Structure 1
Amino acid sequence: MSRERFEQDAATHAALFYPGTDVMVNLLGLRDSEELARAERQLVEARTLQLPPVEARQFDYHGFRDLHRHLFQDVYSWAGEERTYLTARGPAPFARPEYIRTWMDARFETLRAEGFLAVLDAHRFAWRAAEHVNEINACHPFVEGNGRVQRAWLRLLAAEANYEIEFRRKDIAAWNEASRKGFTDADHEPMARLIAARIFGEPVREEARRAAFLKSRSAGAEKNHCDRTSGRTR
């Protein structure tokens, strides 16, 4: 990385915080880190209990950003916006900001090609979902809240397959460790086991396979049409 790029990214990151503090600039005007963490947790949990708006329930990158915006809209002005600076976990970097959109679009295209996992049994769903979640985490598209939006998104994805997933607060440490293993070692087993332990319900019946396939094809065709006719980005 060039020195100029390093300094630019450092300045971009620093601007997210109140000067001289480790407290992120927030819509609540809170300057104490513990108060902000407490308020953020309460507000995001309240949004998590709501049905997200329809645009946040679309399984593409636009929908994923809208879901992040829904969860964090009460706390941060940049909710739903892409990270614009380089960051890492230890020595391992997350996706460079200029590659985030391409990375995420490719991941959701893979998911669409798999029929949104809609007809998999619980074991297979957990393993495929684990890879998707870990790859999204490796991209790390947002400044903050990547894990929480991943869990909220995973619940929506599970619902498409007639499953429910319920994570508990005590699962957060296990989630973080599974994310770390997925990121640093490309080991999806810890995440798959965690998902499998928290999933319940019956899979979509076999006759839904064709419907899921047609839905995936329709979504892809509609996206391609919109891209050609409008060129709109969000």
Structure 2
Amino acid sequence: MTEFTRETLLEVHRYLMQDIYPWAGEVRTTEVGAMGMAMCRAQYVEAELDRVMKRISKMPASATDKESAVRTVADHWSELTIVHPFRDGNSRTQRFYFDQMLRAAGWSVDWTRIDASQAHAARYVGAATADPSFLAQVLIPGVFAPDELPGDTANSFTATQGNRNNASSAETFHRMMAFRREYPGQPWDPSIAGESAR
């Protein structure tokens, strides 16, 4: 994938969900929530989706600076998370979409080095707070320049599908939010968060 538009997002959802839902590839018209939060109201989803897609077209992932590329993807992913354009299948669709965005910019992504539950939780922290730094921090260990990582990382996406534990994601989300309140501006530290959440 080399184009990252509304149409390509809908195509990804349609492809991934076509055997599950008759409405695969269609923008939702109903209210949804996740992580105990209401997502974008249905009446605003179309406009918000267009807004996020315009930002994506104006702010592509860097092809030369890995940290910048990951921060950009984390920012876009956090915004798309709160828009939540589909009734279901948002996580699978967005993970593939942003995996492809990083790869199109020339980066290799090894999803086996990214904690799926933490990444899921961090997306919602970014959605709730407009702070994508937690997601960027969770993603960075799995992103490499092509010559940095031996072997084929393309299969790591499929190999890790379904590895996320939803209960663990929800617990981690609440720990991240508590950590952010207790240690404002500090990078996410799971070992400290374990203590601060008690």
Pairwise CA RMSD: 2.2
User: Is the Cα–Cα contact under 8 Å of residues 69 and 80 in structure 1 kept in the other structure?
Assistant: yes
TM-score in terms of structure 1 length: 0.57
**Cα deviation 1:129-162 (Å, max 9, x = unaligned):** 1010000000001111111111100111012210
Deviation at 1:63?
0.9
Q: Which residue of 2 aligns with 1:95?
A: 40
**Cα deviation 1:91-129 (Å, max 9, x = unaligned):** 632112222121111112112112x22434110111111
Q: Which residue of 2 aligns with 1:106?
A: 51
**SS of 2:140's equivalent?**
helix
The sequence identity of aligned pairs, in percent, is 25
Instruction: Give 4+ residue runs of structure 1 displaced > 4 Å after superposition.
Output: none
Alignment of 1:1-234 (within 5 A): 58-89=3-34, 92-114=37-59, 116-168=60-112, 171-202=115-146
**SS of 1:117's equivalent?**
coil
Deviation at 1:170?
7.2
**Cα distance in 2 between the residues matched to 1:60 and 1:183:** 20
**Cα distance in 1 between the residues matched to 2:15 and 2:36:** 32
Specify whether residues 169 and 98 from structure 1 end up closer, same or farther in structure 2 by C-alpha distance, changes over 3 A only.
Answer: farther
Specify whether residues 92 and 169 from structure 1 end up closer, same or farther in structure 2 by C-alpha distance, changes over 3 A only.
Answer: same
Query: Which structure's relative contact order is higher, taking Cα pairs within 8 Å and 6+ residues apart?
Result: 2
**Cα distance in 1 between the residues matched to 2:61 and 2:41:** 28
Higher mean C-alpha displacement, 125-134 vs 161-170: 161-170
**Cα distance in 2 between the residues matched to 1:109 and 1:170:** 28
User: Is the Cα–Cα contact under 8 Å of residues 114 and 142 in structure 2 kept in the other structure?
Assistant: no
**Cα distance in 2 between the residues matched to 1:175 and 1:118:** 21
Aligned residue type for 1:158: L
Structure 1, unaligned runs of 5 or more: 1-53, 204-234
User: Is the Cα–Cα contact under 8 Å of residues 60 and 105 in structure 1 kept in the other structure?
Assistant: no
Q: Which residue of 2 aligns with 1:48?
A: none
User: Is the Cα–Cα contact under 8 Å of residues 175 and 191 in structure 1 kept in the other structure?
Assistant: yes
Question: Radius of gyration: which is bigger?
Answer: 1
Specify whether residues 90 and 113 from structure 1 end up closer, same or farther in structure 2 by C-alpha distance, changes over 3 A only.
Answer: closer
Structure 2, unaligned runs of 5 or more: 148-198
**Cα distance in 2 between the residues matched to 1:169 and 1:159:** 16
TM-score in terms of structure 2 length: 0.67
**SS of 1:168's equivalent?**
helix
